[in-house]
Amino acid sequence: MAVSLGFGNQFVLVNLGEVAVELFQCRGKRIIWSGKLDQNNFSSKLNKLKGDQLILIPKEDFVTFHLSIPKVAEHSIEQLLESEIERRTAFHYDEVKTDHFVLSSEGTHVNLLVYVVPKKKLTAICETAMKAGLKPQCFVAQNTDNLAEYGGTFKLESSASDKQSRLRIFAAMLVLTLFVTALVSPFIERHWSYGKLLAENKRITPLSEDIHKRKQNLRLYEEQVKTINEFSRQQPTVVAILDEVSKILPDTAWIRRFHLKDNELVLQGFASNASDVVAILGSSEMFESPSLRAPITREPEKEIERFNLVVRVRF
């Protein structure tokens, strides 16, 4: 056991072990009580602790990386995270949950610490917590020696217990229906089973043929993927492109939104003189052929001009 003093909001950190569970009663950024409990005294002690229950994510189940982005891209950080996560990890963006916070802000750049957790890992941890009798409000990634100073915070879109309850109800209803049908007439059950087998065979036959065709084309697909990956590694990243934009544009211009497709970069934003932005982009070694997608509009009250332009990126 360990005890210390602290002030602030109270919450409970839970570290799920294979045999025992570690509980940490926290106040603010201080741990005021901690203990390792077994199943015999777990429930009684947990009920005495105060605050939300936060489940610690094991360090081997999440990934962190540092990311430096131009300040002009702060409003498009989700787009940048999607690009960087798929480049730096083995996951697609829709397969993970992310969190980040600002470490520092230097000059034209902002330095971030990004947390990435696979959604499947979060679901598995949640199911383990529910089986132990916990009702977790969220999950946290601890990346310092002080457990109370956790970093990434994650929530599931829906509760794993709700999914399990719906699954149990559905399974019970299915079993009851089959039982009643079997009591009414054994012939109905036999006929239904035989029809189901025929339908399943009819469904599987085209799938088997499709799998055979896919195996034949697998080697070709792998070569195509290898070629695409090699080409992708040779191209400048979105961060590098925006970094160049940040360097060449004056302080009187900023980007609100961007979109990159193939080698065309669309930029939308504001400037004291939008015509200068077009000229500056045209003089860059990374860009060529800048042109306006819509007329420049001026906002007299703010003394700025709104622009919407497209420029080609030189790969």
Higher pLDDT pick, 185 / 78 = 78
Q: pLDDT tens across 121-142, in order?
A: 888 888 888 887 787 778 888 7
CB 283 within 8 A of CB 247: no
Please, what sign has the CA dihedral across residues 4, 6, 11, 13? negative
Place of tokens 């970093």: 151
| pLDDT beyond 50 at 239 | yes
Using the predicted structure, report yes or no on whether residue 2 has a pLDDT greater than 70. no
The pLDDT-based confidence of 280 (bands split at 50, 70, 90) is very high
User: What pLDDT is recorded for position 146?
Assistant: 59
Q: Are 129 and 136 in contact (CB under 8 A)?
A: yes
For the cut 80, the answer to whether the pLDDT of residue 168 exceeds it is no
CA distance 311 to 290: 4
pLDDT digit string, tens, across residues 97-121:
998 888 888 888 888 889 999 999 8
Mean pLDDT of 227-249: 74
Q: How confident is the model at residue 158 (pLDDT cuts 50, 70, 90)?
A: very low
31-45, 152-166, 221-235, 276-290: segment of lowest average pLDDT = 152-166
Of 88, 115, 89, the C-alpha closest to 100 is 115
Tokens of 128: 């383990």
Between these two residues, 178 and 227, which has the higher pLDDT value? 178
Q: Exposed e or buried b for every residue in 221-247, given b needs 16+ CB within 10 A?
A: eeeeeeeeeeeeeeeeebbebbbbbbe
Who wins on pLDDT, 28 or 190?
A: 28
238-313: in CATH 3.30.479.10 = no
Question: So where are the chain's domains?
Answer: 238-313
How high is the pLDDT of residue 289?
Answer: 92
pLDDT at 85 over 70: yes
